[in-house]
């Protein structure tokens, strides 16, 4: 009975709401439905505004991801540059980029759409790149034997193999687009779900806060299932058996590649400010940030402030990141071992992540307090869902013929899982681990901004409100660098594991 779990959860939720009625923390389903009925017009107008921006950002961000993946695949020498630039842009914290985009675009929907696009393009790009490489070497040899080039290989072989991974990326992107649009509305929009969320938190309106969370969850769940349903209409084939030999190391000089990425980034940063013509009072270029960090009279104070804030953030960031990765992978394995658990676990898992962190952060902190537990929990929630979806798709990419052989020898389900399905999952798991490095930074900075008042997220929000743009831009650069270093660390571990279990990913 797959519906039994959600029904029990709703009944427990209603009971807790009555028990905690005097704490102004939790609103029950009946109170939420009552609020939605009384304010249907207000909520529907806000939802239409945010949903329109999220859909626009979702389309733009995913088109950008597909374009970048095609460039990196057709022209392999550009792979490191594409990944590096895409990573750094994704590492820019939304807490800081929101106010910057508001100044650059002015009033209107521009910042919301851009932030929605920025929130999704990377979560699609990484799984897509993994899928484009999940191709048996024999298929590539066959295409070459007919004298066809890289473009034919991309269209007729790699694109088909990448479809399951692409769908996983789109499903992860659906809630992220809604979150990005809401963050954009936080920076000064006039309408939308984000604007109502600010009003609900300011007025301590618990019914309104939970009603917004429920509506946002419903939208995200609908997007998740709709993408999955459409994908199932086109994906009927069985995953191929991939037996690729280890490849010779074709990577270029890593140091020169890094220098090239840094040079291009600095050029884009400096040139972008010149092209946009933003006021120097607000827009700080590479020279100004270097001056603020190392040459200005108050540079030691700036560095000390940033160091203290980063230390506060790191205490919560790493445990939440690891907990989210572990929970997502373990739940995906549980569902594969016990398929009946999917009926109960899947809706709850989707709902847990689909509630935008903007609405859950204040509530979780109210329940768990402003200490470590609340922040770590929210970071883990942010990391959990992309990992869960990616790992579930990865487990299902285990070749059916290999599983049939194992079962013909009476292998136990746990043996099939550990010997066949988990190795097939590893590329997707590491793709999720890489994309979750900046996602966890986003989570912890948003929590610090909205709820705890500590760490680098709070410092960036405070700097923006006080027009201390030297500090704001310095914090953005520092957070982006640290995210890139974390990403590189995960990539180092990934290369060593995949060299044994999925060597085609290292081509």
User: Which segment of 96-100, 116-120, 499-503 scores lowest on mean pLDDT?
Assistant: 96-100
Placement of tokens 């399905």 in the chain? 421
Q: Over 80: is that where the pLDDT of 122 sits?
A: yes
Answer whether residue 361 shows pLDDT above 80.
no
Spatial contact of 474 and 302, defined as CB atoms under 8 Å apart: yes
Q: Convert the pLDDT of each residue in 182-210 to its tens digit.
A: 878 877 778 888 888 888 877 878 888 88
Let me know: does 449 contact 460? Beta carbons within 8 Å. yes
Exposure string over 89-101, b if 16+ CB within 10 A, otherwise e: bbbbbbbbbbbbb
Contact present, 27 and 210 (Cβ < 8 Å): yes
Q: Where are the alpha helices (DSSP H) in 277-397?
A: 286-290, 299-337, 342-354, 357-368, 372-395
Segment among 28-42, 90-104, 297-311, 402-416 with least mean pLDDT: 90-104
pLDDT of residue 150: 75
User: Each residue of 298-347: pLDDT tens digit?
Assistant: 889 988 998 898 888 888 888 889 998 999 899 889 888 887 776 666 66
Q: Own/partner pairs for 465-471, CB < 8 Å, 24+ apart?
A: 467/282, 469/281, 469/282, 469/283, 469/284, 470/284, 470/288, 470/289, 470/292, 470/296, 470/302, 471/292, 471/302, 471/305, 471/306
* pTM given for the model: 0.75
Please measure the distance between the N-terminal and C-terminal CA atoms of the chain and give it in whole angstroms.
45
Which of 399, 428, 433 lies closest to 416 in space, CA to CA?
A: 399
Residues in the chain: 507
């Amino acid at each position: 009975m797959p519906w039994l779990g959600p029904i029990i959860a709703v009944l427990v939720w209603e009971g807790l709401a009555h028990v905690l009625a005097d704490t102004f923390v939790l609103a029950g389903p009946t109170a939420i439905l009552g609020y939605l009925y009384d304010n249907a017009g207000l909520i529907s107008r806000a939802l239409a505004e945010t949903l329109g921006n999220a859909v626009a950002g979702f389309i733009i961000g995913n088109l950008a991801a597909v374009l970048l993946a095609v460039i990196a695949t057709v022209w392999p020498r550009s792979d490191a540059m594409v990944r590096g630039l895409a990573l750094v842009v994704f590492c820019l914290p939304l807490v800081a980029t929101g106010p910057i985009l508001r100044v650059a675009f002015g009033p209107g929907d521009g910042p919301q759409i851009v932030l929605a696009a920025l929130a999704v393009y990377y979560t699609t790009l990484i799984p897509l790149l993994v899928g484009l490489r999940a191709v048996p070497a024999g298929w590539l040899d066959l295409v070459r034997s007919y004298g066809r080039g890289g473009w034919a290989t991309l269209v007729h072989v790699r694109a088909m193999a990448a479809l399951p991974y692409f769908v996983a990326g789109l499903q992860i992107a659906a809630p992220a687009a809604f979150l990005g649009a809401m963050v954009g509305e936080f920076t000064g929009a006039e309408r939308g779900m984000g604007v109502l969320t600010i009003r609900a938190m300011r007025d301590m309106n618990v019914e309104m806060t939970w009603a917004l969370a429920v509506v946002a969850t419903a939208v995200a769940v609908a997007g998740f299932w709709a993408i999955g349903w459409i994908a199932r209409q086109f994906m009927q084939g069985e995953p191929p058996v991939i037996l690729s030999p280890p490849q010779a190391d074709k990577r270029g000089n890593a140091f020169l590649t890094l220098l090239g990425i840094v040079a291009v980034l600095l050029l884009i940063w400096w040139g972008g400010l010149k092209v946009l013509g933003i006021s120097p009072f607000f827009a700080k270029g590479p020279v100004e940030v270097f001056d603020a960090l190392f040459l200005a009279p108050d540079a030691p104070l700036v560095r000390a402030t940033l160091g203290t804030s980063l230390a506060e953030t790191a205490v919560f960031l790493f445990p939440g990141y690891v907990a989210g990765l572990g929970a997502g992978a373990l739940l995906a394995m549980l569902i594969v071992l016990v398929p009946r658990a999917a009926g109960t676990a899947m809706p709850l898992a989707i709902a847990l992540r689909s509630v935008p962190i903007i609405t859950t952060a204040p509530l979780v902190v109210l329940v768990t307090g402003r200490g470590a537990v609340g922040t770590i929990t929210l970071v883990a929630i942010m990391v959990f869902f992309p990992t869960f979806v990616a790992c579930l798709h990865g487990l299902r990419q285990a070749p059916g013929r290999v599983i049939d052989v194992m079962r013909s020898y009476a292998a136990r389900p746990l043996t099939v899982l550990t010997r066949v399905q988990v190795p097939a999952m590893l590329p997707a798991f590491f793709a999720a681990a890489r994309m979750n490095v900046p996602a966890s930074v986003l989570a912890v900075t948003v929590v610090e901004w909205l709820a705890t008042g500590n760490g680098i997220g709070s410092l960036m929000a405070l700097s923006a409100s006080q027009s201390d743009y030297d500090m704001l831009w310095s914090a953005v650069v520092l957070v982006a660098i640290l995210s890139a270093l974390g990403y590189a660390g995960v990539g180092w571990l990934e290369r060593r594991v995949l060299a044994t279990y999925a060597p085609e990913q290292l081509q």
